[in-house]
Structure 1
Amino acid sequence: MTVLPLRPPRRVRHETVTLAHGGGGSAMRDLVEDVFVSAFAVHEEGQPLEDQARLSLAELMARGDRLAFTTDSFVVDPLEFAGGDIGKLAVCGTVNDLAVGGAVPVALSCAVVIEEGMAVATLRRIAASIARTAREAGVRVVTGDTKVVARGACDKLFITTSGVGVIRTGLDLGIARARPGDVVLINGPLGDHGAAIMAARGELAVSAPVASDCAPLNGLIGALLDAAPGTRLIRDATRGGLAAVLNEMAEASNIGVRVAESAIPIRPEVRGFCDLLGLDPLYLGNEGVAVAVVPPEQADAALAALRAHPLGVLAAAIGTATAERPGRVVMDTPFGGTRIVDMLVGDPLPRIC
């Protein structure tokens, strides 16, 4: 029997991406295998790449009784910023969208649209960041796609990630499940991501000594659900910030929400940054903040579980669900007054994710 030697691994021979890297020929294979396949380890040694990932149904069913599926696109500007980059953001965003529904994330897809002329070195860093964050979250990138477009057809790099996860048996979280008396918890300070992105753009000649809070929250959420199995709902406070989550919850659950401004954790650097620019931290996007609503009898256990996790050290109980003023969010100010917290009409900071 003749044993054929393994072909040498493919290597990109250019410093920047060209249209040939999206043409389906050898240049594209070089890019895909060198930059992405090698980073993600999407196939076993010696096994061919297929046009789809194949997941064991038996392994999925052993984890729960329902499949969760989500997808998201990421167009953040700039691509790299303090605390993260578009690759880390893509993994965390999709993992967190699964986790807040009570799912254990299992596998991700990753599709990229690359602008002609992008530096291959930058692409390598982002691919490495995707792989590193996926390992941290305990998920695999199992399939993907690569497209290259002409200069000006996209802004450097766009990423779309989809994810599947399994929801444990008996768990039922939902935005419409809050009840009067429930306690609202958050796991950490608001506004870090939004402030970091704005500072990284440099458009306003204002700096903020703060890094993005971008992080996979599935471990934290798993600990929360173990401690408080009666948890009503969990949402990550991304675009629209905490204000959007609270308003969506109030409307969907037909309840009122009352929060205390003094209880909401915000870093002094972020507060000062927002004061300078006339922004409200309640509306800034976050990539590592989860909002959880739990029954009052489980609130102490839930808060303790959050604070015991590295991503929840500064967790706080910030308010309660009420039967008063259904659909409204009211904030108690430190001066003894109250104010209505509405949804934003527009977006104060586009392209944060």
Structure 2
Amino acid sequence: MYKAPERILLGHGSGGRLSHDLIKHFILPAFANPVLSELHDGARLTIDGARLAFSTDSYVVKPRFFPGGDIGKLAVCGTVNDLAMCGAEPLYLSAGFIVEEGLPAGELQQIIASMQSAALAAGVAIVTGDTKVVEKGAVDGLYINTAGIGRILPGVDIDARRVKPGQTVIVSGYLGDHAIAVMSERHGLTLPAQIVSDCAPLNKLVRELLTAVPAAVTMLRDPTRGGLATTLNEIAADAGVGIILEENAVPVRPEVQAVCEILGFDPLYLANEGKVIVIVEKEYNEQVLAIMRQNALAGSACIIGTVTEKPPGQVALKTMVGGLRLVDMLAGEQLPRIC
């Protein structure tokens, strides 16, 4: 039986099981409606015959600047990607800033310039927003909220209910780079130069894929908070299927794996900000991989697993020695404030 916490914990923002409990027992009962109940990366709406996607997210990453990106780039790419995961072409964003008194003006200018650059790269316009300044100590420098709206591409139906046994799980590239890059900057660690955040807008990659083979793709998700393991657990639970991953197929850079082994992290749970999980009908495997690998953001795209009947609602990892171990949803928080 669920027991409500007396206080909200940092782990409730992890994207893992505590986050799911917070949503299920606090938020959904108050706001329940058919659109919200889908719990995808964004809401899918039909207005006067137009199929639209709408999403919002808030960014509290610490530190604000890290190898490969900053909070501004992250805010734009994160919302663009959430819309893309709905099968939509992102069009317009809003930007809300909560600024702590004393933040250097030059730093704010740098972050805004980064947002401008990311928006241009994604082909979206920031068309409205808000700014609040609060007293020193009320926030940690700067928090950003972005919301976005996009048009769902013709013939596209991204829905967990379409995920069936026999389909294939593909990921667009190496996992865990973002989390390790942020952690290294946070703790002053010196890591190899190739470990930088993968933060990038995925909408053009997704559009290329969905334009070429719209019927082949049943599910899209970006494995952000909670990482690959949590995201696949969400899909398995929503679809009522099992997912079996091949350990030797999951792409993790040796440098990232080494850091994880030293610090006790599991790369399956590390956050990513420029990767996409694609679930496709098996007969389209080679075509989908060929399309993805032509894009610079998915040159290392690969098959990592299969959708199965069992274990229903769960994810398992086939180890390199041939055994199976269950891969549960993230329980707490490996790295807080990662996005």
TM range (shorter): 0.7 to 0.9
Q: How does 1:189-228 map to 2 (within 5 A)?
A: 189-202=174-187, 205=189, 207=191, 209=193, 210-228=195-213
Residues 267-318 of structure 1 show CA distances to partners (whole Å, capped at 9, x for unaligned) of 1111111011011100000000100100011121111111110000000011
1:298 is aligned to 2:287: no
Q: Distance in 2 between matches of 1:244 and 1:276?
A: 22
1:106 paired residue number? 91
Q: 1:322 aligns with which of 298, 304, 308?
A: 308
1:129 is aligned to 2:114: yes
Residues 74-115 of structure 1 show CA distances to partners (whole Å, capped at 9, x for unaligned) of 000000000000000000000000001100000000010100
1:185 is aligned to 2:165: no
Residues 14-68 of structure 1 show CA distances to partners (whole Å, capped at 9, x for unaligned) of xxxxxxxxxxxxxxxxxxxxxxxxxxxxxxxxxxxxxxxxxxxxxx99xx93111
Question: What displacement does 1:207 show?
Answer: 3.7
1:172 is aligned to 2:157: yes
Q: Distance in 2 between matches of 1:245 and 1:175?
A: 12
Q: Distance in 2 between matches of 1:265 and 1:127?
A: 33
Question: What displacement does 1:208 show?
Answer: 5.2
Q: Distance in 1 between matches of 2:268 and 2:304?
A: 12
Q: Distance in 1 between matches of 2:255 and 2:53?
A: 37
* TM-score (norm: length of structure 1): 0.80
Question: What displacement does 1:330 show?
Answer: 1.1
Higher relative contact order (CA 8 A, sep 6+): 2
Aligned to 1:233, the other structure's residue is in SS state strand
Equivalenced residues, count:
292
Q: Distance in 2 between matches of 1:181 and 1:336?
A: 20
Q: Distance in 1 between matches of 2:144 and 2:81?
A: 16
1:289 is aligned to 2:282: no
Q: Distance in 2 between matches of 1:175 and 1:239?
A: 19
Aligned to 2:271, the other structure's residue is in SS state coil
The one-letter code sitting in structure 2 at the alignment partner of 1:135 is L
Aligned to 1:163, the other structure's residue is in SS state strand
The one-letter code sitting in structure 2 at the alignment partner of 1:274 is C
1:85 is aligned to 2:74: no
**Structure 2: 5+ residue stretches without partners:** 1-45
Q: Distance in 2 between matches of 1:292 and 1:276?
A: 30
* TM-score (norm: length of structure 2): 0.83
Q: Distance in 1 between matches of 2:181 and 2:259?
A: 10
Identity %: 51
Higher-Rg member (1/2)? 1
Aligned to 1:133, the other structure's residue is in SS state helix
1:240 is aligned to 2:226: yes
Flag the 1:274–1:208 CA change in 2: closer, same or farther, 3 A. farther
Q: Distance in 2 between matches of 1:214 and 1:261?
A: 24
Given that 1:258 and 1:332 are in contact with CA atoms closer than 8 Å, whether structure 2 keeps it comes out as yes
Given that 1:65 and 1:169 are in contact with CA atoms closer than 8 Å, whether structure 2 keeps it comes out as no
Q: 2:51 aligns with which of 66, 77, 80?
A: 66
Question: What displacement does 1:228 show?
Answer: 2.5
Given that 1:77 and 1:197 are in contact with CA atoms closer than 8 Å, whether structure 2 keeps it comes out as yes
When the two chains are superposed, the root-mean-square deviation of aligned CA atoms in Å is 1.6
Given that 2:223 and 2:277 are in contact with CA atoms closer than 8 Å, whether structure 1 keeps it comes out as yes
Q: Distance in 1 between matches of 2:109 and 2:169?
A: 41
Given that 2:175 and 2:253 are in contact with CA atoms closer than 8 Å, whether structure 1 keeps it comes out as yes
Question: What displacement does 1:168 show?
Answer: 1.9
The one-letter code sitting in structure 2 at the alignment partner of 1:152 is G
1:307 is aligned to 2:307: no
Aligned to 1:176, the other structure's residue is in SS state helix
Given that 2:92 and 2:149 are in contact with CA atoms closer than 8 Å, whether structure 1 keeps it comes out as yes
Residues 138-166 of structure 1 show CA distances to partners (whole Å, capped at 9, x for unaligned) of 00011111111110000000000000000
The one-letter code sitting in structure 1 at the alignment partner of 2:208 is A
Residues 214-267 of structure 1 show CA distances to partners (whole Å, capped at 9, x for unaligned) of 000001111121233121010000000000111111111111111101111111
Q: 1:344 aligns with which of 330, 333, 336?
A: 330
